[in-house]
Structure 1
């Protein structure tokens, strides 16, 4: 009986040590997580990252891009596919009647104007990004520079889902991966604080 008591006691000691080790790891993980949050918050304060209460003024924060339809409303949001070849909504649809003026969301260069699969498309190259609009037409030649907030074309021509009611705006990388255009409509400001 004494031998069994010793084995049971040894098992309890081992179990207690394992529990203490697990609690210690949990405390350590919690401490690391809390430290990481503090460092991240401190870094954000040090850098002056602000995304909420931005002031739209010289030197203030503003979105990286503007909506291509002045005063427009988004009626269908981005729903990107998991893989580039799968179905999805690769941009946003903005309310716009036939003939509505389109403004450049950002500085760039007209990189395409014509038909793609029967759709009227205008594309603007902006750094590593290509901004696409359909249905859209422009009188500008490929290679023409466009400037943020300035007219570059009109909502016109054929589309597979926007005829006469909206314009589809997409943003894609050089690898044909589309990203949500609304991402660049949110104000952000990053400044160094001494």
Structure 2
């Protein structure tokens, strides 16, 4: 086999691997979507609803904490109808350069570096990825972080609100973006009679 035939063979093998990986992701995403649909339909069938809680001491507490102590949301979530369409895929929280960021939930650092010239830190928690920009951390990828403990600082510029905020995005493994602010409110799931 000549040099050019061997290179073409390698390219075809890599392309087959990429296609198989894509098919696997599509199957997993379809399974997750069907599972979520079944769970949602089941919840509606039995009358499950989320309600606010008056007190956290009765076992009802927010799933996550605000990454900026006393943070104020400057710009709300406006998720796109499709992942490739325009929208605001997170929330902007008022924060100045050097503001300490705390982990909203237990997890581990999954990324720390530059994306499109902006400093980004990501935390993975189960199937969720929480991303903060502009942000930096001294922790290495794989480091565990605990809910409410510092993991980094606001640093750099942002195309969201240059120098006055940190953007917090949150997405599921299937690439679906969700509103992080939703997880900051105490909720209880209960059956409706």
Matches within 5 A, 1:174-193: 174-190=173-189
Q: Which residue of the partner structure matches residue 51 of structure 2? A: 51
Q: Which residue of the partner structure matches residue 90 of structure 2? A: 91
Q: Distance in 2 between matches of 1:172 and 1:53?
A: 25
Over the residues paired in the alignment, what is the CA RMSD in angstroms?
A: 2.1
The alignment status of 1:132 with 2:137, answered yes or no, reads no
The alignment status of 1:153 with 2:152, answered yes or no, reads yes
Deviation at 1:117, TM superposition (A): 0.8
Q: Which residue of the partner structure matches residue 33 of structure 2? A: none
Instruction: Please say if residues 53 and 60 of structure 2, whose CA atoms lie closer than 8 Å, have aligned partners that are also in contact.
Output: no
Structure 2 unaligned regions, length at least 5:
1-43
Q: Distance in 1 between matches of 2:50 and 2:122?
A: 31
Cα deviation 1:63-98 (Å, max 9, x = unaligned): 101110010100100001111111110000000011
Q: Distance in 2 between matches of 1:88 and 1:53?
A: 30
Q: Give SS of 1:75's match.
A: strand
Deviation at 1:185, TM superposition (A): 1.0
TM-score by length of 2: 0.71
The alignment status of 1:169 with 2:168, answered yes or no, reads yes
Instruction: Please say if residues 135 and 162 of structure 1, whose CA atoms lie closer than 8 Å, have aligned partners that are also in contact.
Output: no
Instruction: Please say if residues 90 and 179 of structure 2, whose CA atoms lie closer than 8 Å, have aligned partners that are also in contact.
Output: yes
Decide which structure has the larger Cα Rg and report it.
1
Q: When the two structures are aligned, how many residues end up with a matched partner?
A: 148
Q: Distance in 2 between matches of 1:162 and 1:155?
A: 12
Cα deviation 1:15-46 (Å, max 9, x = unaligned): xxxxxxxxxxxxxxxxxxxxxx9x63xxx6xx
Q: Distance in 2 between matches of 1:87 and 1:50?
A: 29
Structure 1 unaligned regions, length at least 5:
1-36
TM-score by length of 1: 0.71
Shift >2 Å, 4+ stretches: 49-54, 189-192
Q: Distance in 1 between matches of 2:189 and 2:116?
A: 41
Structure 1 residues 68 and 122 mapped into 2: Cα distance closer, same or farther (>3 Å)?
same
Q: Which residue of the partner structure matches residue 69 of structure 1? A: 68
Structure with greater strand percent = 2
